Amino acid sequence: MSSFSLGLTVVLACMAMVVTKYCYFCDISNLGSCVSTTILCGEEEECYFGQGSASGLGHITNRGCVEGLYCGREQSITYMETTYSFITQCCEGNLCNDGPPGPKQVSPSLPIIIAGLSVTLLLA
């Protein structure tokens, strides 16, 4: 193995130790959908999809990053001078909050992807 391949393998292995998570983000909206951007979450944060309702009114939604202790909790928020009952539904994995939570989908994790790249480089 060349020193370049060995160095690249070591760098990739070290990158696997750094945990980063990207989530979709959009502000609160009552339109049912929003134009999302991606954001980098903190170490202790999870991706979430939030949904709220108020008696006699439609739903509001948003998405982003939230500390894990707020996952699944109901809270009151005010949007356009109306108080909504709002719940944050968290999910696991990068960009997992593209819509309301459904059946869990398994996506390849970063360490598995890096291991595959490392093996490919070793065999090359």
- Is the pTM above the cut of 0.95? no
The better pLDDT of the pair 122, 49 is held by 49
Helix (H) or strand (E) holding 45: strand 45-53
Helix, strand or coil, per DSSP, at residue 15: helix
| Nearest-angstrom CA–CA distance, 25 and 56 | 27
pLDDT-derived band at 105, boundaries 50, 70, 90: very low
Contact 118, 16 (CB under 8 A): no
pLDDT at 113: 53
pLDDT at 38: 95
Task: For residue range 73-104, list pLDDT tens digits in order.
Answer: 999 999 999 999 999 999 999 999 987 654 44
Helix, strand or coil, per DSSP, at residue 23: strand
What are the residue boundaries of the structural domains of the chain, listed by start?
A: 3-123
∠ Cα 38 112 94 (to 5°): 15
Task: For residue range 4-63, list pLDDT tens digits in order.
Answer: 554 545 444 444 445 689 999 999 988 766 778 999 999 999 999 999 999 888 899 999
Look up the CATH superfamily of 3-123.
Answer: CD59 (2.10.60.10)
DSSP 99: S
